[in-house]
Every structure is written in structure tokens, then in C-alpha cells.
Amino acid sequence: MSAPPCPKAMVHGPCGGVAEDGCCEVAPEPCSFLPLPTVRWAGRPVAPVTPEPPLLQLMRQRPVVVADLPAVALSRWSLERAAGFVAGRVDAVLLGDHAAARVQFCPTYRASIVQAAGVTVWQGLNCRDRNRVALEGELAGLADLGVGAVHCVTGDHTLTGDRPDAQPVFDWDSTQLAAAARAAGLLVSVGETPHGPPADRRPRRLAEKVRAGAQVCFVDHAGGVEELRTFVEQATDAGADVPFIACVAVATDPGSVAELRRFTGLRLPEGYLAGIEGARDPFRAGIAAAVALAEAYLEVPGVRGVDLSGVAAPGTELTTATALAEIGRALS
């Protein structure tokens, strides 16, 4: 069964942008996938990769620490400086493909800059800005570059971001992109939002992404430890028997708190951001809060890593990178 027209032309919906009331992120109507059963992956089964990619091997041995890399858009210097701060402090950096359709260096070029700085790259790739030919080209470039992994997302619609004048593409969705990335020989991760409507079908949706080729799941800001535990258990039971990486929000000043609150479907432990905002020293309080939450998440069976999700306010990129490095050191 296929869904009615979706603004993102998704086949394997719903996306992570569905509002709490079930409405589409860009249309004043319910998500077209909500009344439908989970769309099955109809492609070929994926073959196991031998030997296992290094990051996957590492997750079998111990939990990994991944960090977002805050940097000024279109600045090689900023990327290199931020990479220098976190080098040796985290196992990899997640170079997100910016959610707001901001103009930035292309994924393969950014990955080459950061990798040259001695940091393992977990490169993000979205379907909003490129058709399948362009995506296949990026995957080939990333595979040739030897990045640690690729994070496949459908992407937010351009109407929700900084460039509403840009034409959205959505030739593929994250499930189709994951299959292509796996075929390119890359370690593939996807994201899932546990509380996004329809929450009861999110575990099954993740299982279909795994059938398509995903090998790791980043759990978007899930709230408290028990909410994370429940989702991991349900997803594993549904067939998504993969390592999970829990996203940990990092805020160290009023600007980064405001940036985090722009996240679609943000859910954090009760009082998490308020405690940072009300602290005498928000920088130290933010680091302490992130370390404590990460340690709690890592106690959940199946969680094999954390992603330090630090969104820097303009002008605070390097300060945020310093905080991420300190958190990574504390967790190592």
C-alpha cells in the first residue's frame, strides 16, 4: 500500500518532522502516512560486510563517543580549528548536513577537511538538497575518501529552514539512501524519533531501515532514560538488532539553549535546559549535565554510544567545540 502525496515525496514515511498532534511539518493537515501500515522495504536483502567497519568493531568492544562539530559555514579555518579541539577527545565527529538548508561546503569536501585534521568522520547526508544522481556521487566520493560512516536522513523541508526560496528535491528518502550507502560499501546509520507520531510504529519503521541496509541507529532526543530504554527494547524486538547511539543535548549558554529549542520534536529530561539556564555558570553546568545524561544513557542495554549534540549560536562555535572536547574526555 502506498501513501497519498507527501510534501517530501517519501515512500517509507513518516519522517521525523511529524508534529506531536500528527500534522505535517509544512502542511496544516495530518501526515499522510499516519493511517497506513508501516511501509515494508521491498529491495534486495543486504549482504554482510567483511571485515566489519572499524567503528562498528569499536562499538562491539566499548561505547563510542561521537560529537557534532560546530563550525562557521563555508569556513575551512573554522572546520580545522574545531576539529583540532575535539581530536583525540571523541571517537568520531558527526558532520550533519544542515537542517535549515543553509549554504555550506558539500559533504565530501567537508569530510576531507576534517579527516585531514586527524578526526574520524561520520558524514551526514540528506535527500532534500540533491537528486539520486548527486547523492550517488557523494556516496562514491565518501567511500573513496574512506570516511568512518555515513548518516542517512530524509532531511527537513526547505520551508522550515533558512532558505525557503530553495526548491526541495526529495528524490529519495532516508531508507532508500541507506540502501544506496550500504551498496557503496559504507557503514550506514539512520535516525529515529521515538516519540514522533505514530510512536507505536517507530520501532517497526526502524526495522525496515535495517532491512534496507542501516547498521546503526542514532536515537533522536528521546527524553529520559526509561523512554530511551523502552524504545531500544521495542526496536530490537521488532528486528532492529543494531547498536544504538543516544543523542545528548549540549547547551552551555543562552544562545545554544535557544538553538536547541528550534529542534523538531525536541524532548529532554524534565528541567534539563532550565537547570543550565538558571545556573550561575551555564558553561560548567551544561558540561556537567551532558556528562551525567550521557552516563545514564550508556547504562541502557543496546546503547553502544552517545552523540554530543551541540548546536552553537553564531560566534560561539569554538567555545562549543571546547565544551564538546571536555565532555568527550570525561566520558572516555
30 burial type by CB count under 10 A (0-12 exposed, 13-18 middle, 19+ buried): middle
The pLDDT of residue 45 is: 72
Residue 163 in this model has a pLDDT that exceeds 90 = no
Phi, psi of 213 (to 5 degrees): 145, -5
Question: Could you tell me the three cell numbers for 231?
Answer: 524504545
Lowest mean pLDDT among 13-17, 139-143, 167-171, 324-328: 13-17
Lowest mean pLDDT among 16-20, 34-38, 64-68, 250-254: 16-20
Q: Give 284-309 pLDDT, tens digit per residue.
A: 999 999 999 999 999 999 999 999 99
pLDDT, average across residues 232-249: 97
Phi, psi of 326 (to 5 degrees): -65, -40
Closest CA to 234 of 265, 202, 188: 202
Angstrom distances, CA of residue 39 to CA of 10, 102, 134, 151, 207: 10, 31, 25, 21, 11
Q: What pLDDT band is residue 328 in, cutting at 50, 70 and 90?
A: very high
Residue 159 in this model has a pLDDT that exceeds 90 = no
The pLDDT of residue 100 is: 64
Closest CA to 22 of 140, 196, 281: 196
Whole-angstrom Cα distance, residue 73 to residue 105?
A: 7
Instruction: State yes or no: cis peptide before 14, omega within 30 of 0.
Output: yes
Q: What pLDDT band is residue 19 in, cutting at 50, 70 and 90?
A: confident
Name the CA dihedral angle for 119, 58, 267, 198, rounded to a multiple of 10 degrees.
120
Average pLDDT, the chain: 92
Q: What pLDDT band is residue 3 in, cutting at 50, 70 and 90?
A: very low
Q: Give 201-231 pLDDT, tens digit per residue.
A: 999 999 999 999 999 999 999 899 999 999 9
Q: Which CATH number fits domain 54-331: 3.40.50.1000, 3.40.1160.10, 3.40.50.720, 3.20.20.220?
A: 3.20.20.220
Name the CA dihedral angle for 30, 227, 291, 188, rounded to a multiple of 10 degrees.
-60
Q: Answer for the pair 228, 296: CB distance below 8 angstroms, yes or no.
A: no
Q: Answer for the pair 245, 306: CB distance below 8 angstroms, yes or no.
A: yes
Closest CA to 128 of 91, 99, 85, 108: 99
The pLDDT of residue 4 is: 56
Whole-angstrom Cα distance, residue 250 to residue 67?
A: 10
